[in-house]
């Protein structure tokens, strides 16, 4: 794909609202020219996350993460750089220009954009039809009867597909789209007689979007008892892969990140009802068991997932697979025990439904505990055959757990319920463990500990580790470099005077970068080097916040020069070069006098 032009990147940066982007994940308060809040990248009680809304920068003084608005979106939404630019361009209405690209690649990109426009137009058509047509009256009544407000339905773009067989087909052609294009995104299909017709007819339509809010496909609910099946989804297309998608993710992502928790339900109306009730971290799996691909998506955002699904027999194996994926990604899966036969949407229409659901979520059991106890509960423990069969079912679940106290406790519970020796149960667990290791081999640390950052899972550079205590040299060099950014004209002179021996390794890299970008460092953050990008971001924010003067620059330079002389004096002494040591000592004495004078001038 062709590179986005630098002019477009700058236009997106200028248009983006940094405070709004960060504010989707943590609350910010004004602190002078900066804004402060709790870090959305690590747990903390006191705010150490600083945002510069003017230069579109962020830096956490606790964990060290830093970057610009593109870096923030990359980290929080699991995107590559070009994808982050595109996402922000969509949000802020910036048209992107690309450098010259291969004609075939450009044609493919334009074709995909065209199909995306087709899906968006279809979603708008269905939404308008729901609110403007007489035919959709019963659909409006049904949705209102489920307690869903017009505002919620409009927020999610819910619509209605006309009962006529060719409304979308004709409307699409009138808008200039071809039948093959409509077929390729699942809006029309072909009959046995070779006639094209609308795939969705007389159905309530739920647009299914990706994390960036782009329509990928639709779910259609029947409005008549004789209409089969009850739900019809878009067929698998280049855009739509049901097993990878979470309904409502575009609207739930910010709340999920703030709470570090996702609520996973089955249906479209469940998601809508929970969001309407203030439980905005809810997403839907669209009537199926949660898949490993969906777990992978969630693991980039949260550490904990609460499943409020129908845990029937068909979903057991799927949940076991999901648990294995979650374990490998250091994510905790729990199951909320909902009342039998009641879905979240039905619960929300009750006077205390939202509070009851919050209670179920709070009391949710670990997925492994839930799965194991469900198997044991349906077992006739008086039958040796059934006890042995139950043990065979629970052993793989126990084997997938991390070795430790939780596994041991669950083994003990199983042994008690099945009236077996714990050693016998553990033996079956060991036998069920994959050949790559024993129980818990290669397992992840407990949820919330050393969690791999989302950007590492996306193949990007991870953020730097929590910064160590700075040395006096590092503090002085950072102060001087920040002032060189704040006062670029006198700063250029100091950057020339600074040699390698004045600076630490990180200081040398930062000085080289500032020399190359004396006036536009914020526009050229070295995203390929996470540690350097974090340091440059910190310097940029210091340049805006900390006072700068030529007198202070001179004092900091002299102090760094003193450290340089002291290092050289020590090295000369170790070599036995006493003549050089004496000469350097005289230089140091003169320098100390200059420092004293500079301190008086600087006040």
* Average confidence (pLDDT) over 161-183: 96
Please give the helix or strand (H or E) that residue 459 lies within, else none.
none
Report how far residue 397's alpha carbon sits from residue 372's, in angstroms, rounded to the nearest whole number: 7
Q: What burial letters (b/e) apply to 4-38, b meaning 16+ CB within 10 Å?
A: beeebbebbbeebebeebbbbbbebeeeeebbbbb
DSSP SS3 for 120: helix
CA distance 194 to 579: 99
Residue 284 DSSP label: E
| The two structure tokens encoding residue 262 | 């996702």
Q: State the pLDDT at residue 454.
A: 36
Q: DSSP secondary-structure letter at 501?
A: G
pLDDT at residue 464, as a whole number: 41
CATH of region 472-602: 1.10.860
The Cα 360–Cα 337 span in angstroms is 6
Compute the CA torsion angle 376, 379, 383, 387 (nearest 10 deg): -40
What pLDDT does 300 receive?
77
Q: How far is CA 295 from CA 257, 301, 304, 366, 603, in A?
A: 15, 10, 10, 15, 58
Predicted confidence at residue 444, as pLDDT, reads 36
Question: Average pLDDT, stretch 228-254?
Answer: 91
Q: Give one DSSP letter per residue of 17-55, joined into a string.
A: -HHHHHHTTS-EEEETTEEEE--TTS--SS--EEEETTT
One CATH from 3.40.50.20, 3.40.50.1370, 2.30.30.90, 3.90.980.10 for 105-235: 3.90.980.10
Helices 422-432 & 405-418, crossing angle to 10 degrees? 120
The residue among 153 and 453 whose pLDDT is bigger is 153
- Which of 130-134, 208-212, 402-406 is predicted least confidently? 402-406
* C-beta atoms surrounding 322 within 10 Å: 26
Of 445, 464, 442, residue with least CA distance to 453? 464
Least confident of 154-168, 195-209, 442-456, 505-519: 442-456
Beta bridge partners of 148: none
Q: Half-sphere exposure of residue 242, counting CA atoms within 13 Å on the CB side?
A: 15
CA 397 vs CA 28, 420, 561: distances in Å: 43, 18, 64
CA distance 285 to 319: 12
On the 0-12 / 13-18 / 19+ scale of CB atoms within 10 A, 109 is: middle
Instruction: Scan for tokens 């809006």, then name that residue.
Output: 187
Per-residue pLDDT, averaged over 313-329, amounts to 63
Crossing angle of helices 81-92 and 6-15, in 10° steps, is 50
Query: Over 217-260, what HEC string results?
Result: EEEEEECCCCCCCCEEECCCCCCCCHHHCCECHHHHHHHHHHHC
What is the percent of the chain with per-residue pLDDT over 90, rounded to a whole number? Answer: 50
Nearest to 266 by CA among 359, 171, 342: 342
Q: How many CB atoms lie within 10 A of CB 285?
A: 24
pLDDT band at 468 (very low <50, low <70, confident <90, very high): low
- Specify whether domain 244-363 bears CATH 3.90.180.10: no
Give the residues across from 265 on adjacent strands.
Answer: 284
How wide is the angle at C-alpha 313 spanned by C-alphas 312 and 317, nearest 5°?
110
- The count of other CB atoms within 10 Å of the CB of residue 236 is 12
Note the pLDDT tens digit of each residue in 41-64.
Answer: 887 889 999 999 988 999 988 888
Domain ranges of the chain: 6-92, 105-235, 244-363, 472-602
Task: Identify the CA nearest to 102 among candidates 28, 177, 1.
Answer: 1
Reported confidence tier of residue 250, pLDDT bands at 50, 70, 90: very high
Helices 137-145, 103-132: crossing angle, 10 deg rounding: 80
- Secondary structure E strands in 179-228: 188-190, 196-198, 203-209, 215-222
Give SS3 for 394: helix
Q: How confident is the model at residue 297 (pLDDT cuts 50, 70, 90)?
A: confident
Least confident residue range of 259-263, 334-338, 358-362, 441-445: 441-445
pLDDT confidence of residue 133: 96
The Cα 356–Cα 361 span in angstroms is: 9
Which H or E element spans position 383? none
**Interatomic CA distance for residues 204 and 151, integer angstroms:** 16
- Whether pLDDT at 439 is above 60: no
Which residues, including other chains, have CB under 8 Å from residue 433's CB and lie 6 or more apart? 399, 439, 441
What pLDDT score does 123 carry? 97
580: tokens are 């050089």
For the record, the structure tokens of 438 come out as 């024993």
Mean pLDDT taken over the chain: 86
Identify the burial level of 117 via C-beta atoms within 10 angstroms of its C-beta, where 0-12 means exposed, 13-18 middle and 19 or more buried.
middle
Cα–Cα dist 256/211, whole Å? 12
For the entire predicted model, the pTM comes to: 0.69
Residue with tokens 């390729």: 184
Q: Please tell me which residue, 102 or 571, carries the higher pLDDT value.
A: 571
Q: What are phi and psi of 358, to 5 degrees?
A: -60, -35
Backbone angles phi and psi of 95, in degrees to 5? -85, 125
Interatomic CA distance for residues 424 and 410, integer angstroms: 13
Place of tokens 């960060």: 22
Taking only the tens place, the pLDDT of each residue in 342-383 is 889 999 999 999 999 999 999 998 888 888 888 898 899 899
pLDDT at 542 over 50: yes
Residue 319 pLDDT class (50, 70, 90 cuts):
low
Residue written as tokens 């044991």? 376
- Report domain 6-92's class: alpha beta
The pLDDT of residue 278: 95
């Amino acid at each position: 794909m062709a590179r986005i032009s630098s002019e477009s990147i700058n236009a997106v940066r200028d248009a983006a609202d940094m405070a709004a982007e960060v504010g989707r994940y943590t609350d910010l308060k004004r602190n002078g020219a900066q804004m402060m809040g709790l870090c959305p990248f690590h747990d903390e009680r006191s705010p150490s996350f600083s945002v510069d809304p003017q230069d579109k920068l962020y830096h956490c003084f606790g964990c060290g993460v830093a970057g610009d608005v593109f870096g923030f979106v990359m980290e929080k939404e699991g995107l590559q750089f070009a994808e982050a630019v595109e996402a922000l361009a969509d949000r802020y209405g910036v048209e992107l220009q690309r450098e010259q690209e291969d004609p075939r690649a450009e044609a493919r990109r334009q074709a995909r954009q065209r199909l995306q426009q087709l899906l968006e137009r279809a979603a708008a058509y269905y939404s308008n039809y729901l609110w403007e047509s007489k035919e959709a009256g019963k659909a409006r009544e049904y949705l209102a009867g489920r307690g869903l407000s017009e505002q919620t339905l409009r927020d999610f773009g819910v619509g209605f597909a006309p009962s006529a067989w060719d409304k979308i087909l004709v409307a699409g052609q009138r808008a200039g789209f071809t039948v093959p294009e409509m077929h390729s995104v699942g809006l029309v299909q072909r009959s046995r007689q070779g006639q094209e017709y609308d795939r969705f007819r007389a159905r309530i339509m739920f647009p299914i979007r990706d994390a960036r809010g782009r329509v990928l496909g639709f779910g259609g609910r029947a409005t008549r008892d004789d209409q089969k099946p009850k739900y019809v989804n878009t067929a698998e297309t280049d855009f739509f892969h049901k097993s990878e998608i979470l309904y409502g993710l575009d609207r739930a992502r910010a709340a999920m990140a703030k709470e570090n928790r996702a609520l996973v339900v089955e249906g479209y109306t469940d998601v809508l009802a929970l969001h309407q009730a203030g439980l905005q971290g809810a997403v839907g799996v669209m009537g199926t068991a949660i898949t490993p691909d969906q777990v992978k998506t969630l693991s980039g955002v949260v550490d904990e997932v609460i499943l409020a699904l129908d845990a029937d027999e068909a979903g057991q194996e799927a949940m076991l697979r999901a648990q294995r994926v979650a374990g490998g990604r250091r994510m905790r899966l729990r199951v909320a025990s909902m009342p039998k036969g009641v879905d979240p949407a039905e619960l929300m229409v009750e006077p205390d439904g939202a509070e009851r659901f919050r209670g179920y979520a709070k009391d949710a059991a670990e997925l492994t505990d839930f799965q194991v106890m469900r198997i044991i509960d349906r077992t006739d423990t008086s039958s040796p055959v059934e006890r042995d069969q139950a043990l065979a079912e629970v052993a793989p679940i126990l084997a997938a757990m991390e070795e430790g106290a939780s596994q041991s406790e669950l083994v003990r519970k199983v042994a008690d319920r099945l009236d077996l020796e714990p050693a016998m149960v553990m033996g079956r667990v060991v036998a069920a463990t994959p050949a790559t290791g024993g129980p818990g081999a290669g397992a992840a640390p407990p949820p919330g500990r050393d969690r791999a950052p989302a950007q590492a899972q996306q193949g990007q550079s991870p953020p730097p580790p929590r910064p160590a205590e700075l040395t006096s040299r590092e503090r002085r060099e950072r102060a001087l470099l920040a002032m060189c950014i704040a006062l670029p004209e006198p700063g250029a002179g100091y950057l020339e005077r600074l040699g390698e021996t004045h600076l630490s390794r990180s200081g040398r890299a930062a000085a080289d970068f500032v020399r190359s970008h004396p006036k536009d460092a914020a526009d050229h953050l070295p995203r390929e080097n996470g540690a350097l990008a974090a340091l440059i971001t910190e310097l940029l924010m210091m340049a805006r916040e900390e006072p700068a003067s030529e007198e202070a620059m001179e004092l900091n330079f002299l102090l760094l020069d003193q450290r340089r002389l002291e290092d050289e004096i020590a090295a000369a002494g170790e070599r036995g070069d006493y003549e050089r040591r004496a000469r350097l000592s005289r230089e140091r004495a003169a320098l100390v006098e200059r420092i004293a004078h500079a301190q008086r001038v600087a006040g």
